[in-house]
């Protein structure tokens, strides 16, 4: 640390700000990588939803087909009854019996008609469901392709960002060496407690770039001088002028 005491305030600020640039890049890489698995998970959910819908449709069609069978049985039974009544008609003894049998035949005939109508409706519904299912299966195939591509993309990005991150971490290790412990601890402490990852802030529109509170003109002028390390009175972040930030390249 002895060598650091030879650094000017300006050099200290530059070193600290360089660290911020590196850390912001690392943060961004990690957040990009963090979002992709969620996109994959969303696609997987969507796929599962489509599969469930397709299975439900299949079950509904099966149920309707069973219903058609039941109606066909009803028709056969009703027709058998009609035949039976017609046979009985040949041996009727009186008008009352004749009327009663004819009534039964009429009722059975209506039952046949009703069952035939139900079968027709069910067949129509089954056709509709089949069309819906076809569309669903086509969508499912499309989503499967999407998922495969997304997973490939994820693998590639994970690979690339991990390499890039390693490079940045090496750079960070070097950058940290030039910064005195007190400043580094302050910087790390703030970063650990904020969501935006800003540990050292630039003056932006007369405000602290970390917490956005106004900075008095005189203090801004002092910061531009780069003769003293000055912090935001509101959030405690070390402040630098925008020109200094622009001078930093990795
Ligand atoms: Zn602030």
- Between the CA of 202 and the centroid of ligand 1 the distance, in Å, is 9
Q: How many whole angstroms separate alpha carbon 57 and alpha carbon 54?
A: 5
- Between the CA of 83 and the centroid of ligand 1 the distance, in Å, is 96
- Between the CA of 179 and the centroid of ligand 1 the distance, in Å, is 21
Question: Residue 73: how many CA atoms within 13 Å on its side-chain side?
Answer: 6
- Between the CA of 209 and the centroid of ligand 1 the distance, in Å, is 7
| Whether this model's pTM surpasses 0.75 | no
- Between the CA of 23 and the centroid of ligand 1 the distance, in Å, is 18
Q: How many whole angstroms separate alpha carbon 208 and alpha carbon 234?
A: 9
What local confidence, expressed as pLDDT, does residue 5 receive?
A: 56
Hey, where are the domains in the chain?
A: 34-175, 181-247
What local confidence, expressed as pLDDT, does residue 34 receive?
A: 82
- Between the CA of 235 and the centroid of ligand 1 the distance, in Å, is 4
- Between the CA of 33 and the centroid of ligand 1 the distance, in Å, is 29
Q: Mean pLDDT over all residues of the chain?
A: 94
- Between the CA of 237 and the centroid of ligand 1 the distance, in Å, is 6
- Between the CA of 16 and the centroid of ligand 1 the distance, in Å, is 16
Question: CATH number of the domain at 34-175, please?
Answer: 1.10.287.1490
Local structure of 194: helix, strand or coil: coil
- Between the CA of 227 and the centroid of ligand 1 the distance, in Å, is 19
Q: Mean pLDDT over residues 185-213, rounded?
A: 95
Check if the beta carbon of residue 210 is closer than 8 Å to that of residue 198.
Answer: yes
- Between the CA of 197 and the centroid of ligand 1 the distance, in Å, is 13
- Between the CA of 172 and the centroid of ligand 1 the distance, in Å, is 24
Q: How many whole angstroms separate alpha carbon 239 and alpha carbon 242?
A: 10
pLDDT tens profile 113-147: 999 999 999 999 999 999 999 999 999 999 999 99
pLDDT reading at 1 higher than 50: no
Q: Mean pLDDT over residues 213-241, rounded?
A: 96
- Between the CA of 7 and the centroid of ligand 1 the distance, in Å, is 25
Nearby residues of 19 by Cβ (< 8 Å), 6 or more positions away: 172, 175, 176, 179, 184, 187, 199, 200
What local confidence, expressed as pLDDT, does residue 202 receive?
A: 97
């Amino acid at each position: 640390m002895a060598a650091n005491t030879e650094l000017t305030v300006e050099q200290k600020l530059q070193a600290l700000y360089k660290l911020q640039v590196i850390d912001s890049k690392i943060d961004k890489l990690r957040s990009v990588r963090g979002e992709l698995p969620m996109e994959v998970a969303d696609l997987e959910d969507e796929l599962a939803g489509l599969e469930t819908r397709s299975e439900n449709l299949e079950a509904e069609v099966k149920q309707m087909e069973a219903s058609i069978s039941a109606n066909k049985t009803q028709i056969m039974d009703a027709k058998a009854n009609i035949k039976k009544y017609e046979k009985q008609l040949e041996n009727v003894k009186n008008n009352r019996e004749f009327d009663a049998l004819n009534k039964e035949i009429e009722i059975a005939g209506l039952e046949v008609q009703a069952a035939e109508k139900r079968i027709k409706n069910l067949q129509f519904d089954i056709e509709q469901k089949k069309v819906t299912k076809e569309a669903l299966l086509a969508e499912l195939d499309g989503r499967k392709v999407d998922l495969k591509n997304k997973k490939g993309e994820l693998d590639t990005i994970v690979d690339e960002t991990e390499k890039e991150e390693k490079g940045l971490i090496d750079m960070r290790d070097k950058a940290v060496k030039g910064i005195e412990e007190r400043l580094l601890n302050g910087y790390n402490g703030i970063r650990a407690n904020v969501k935006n990852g800003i540990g050292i802030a630039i003056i932006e529109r007369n405000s602290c770039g970390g917490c956005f509170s106004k900075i008095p003109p005189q203090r801004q002028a002092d910061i531009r001088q780069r003769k003293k390390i000055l912090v935001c009175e509101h959030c405690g972040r070390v402040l630098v002028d925008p020109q200094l930030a622009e001078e930093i390249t990795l």
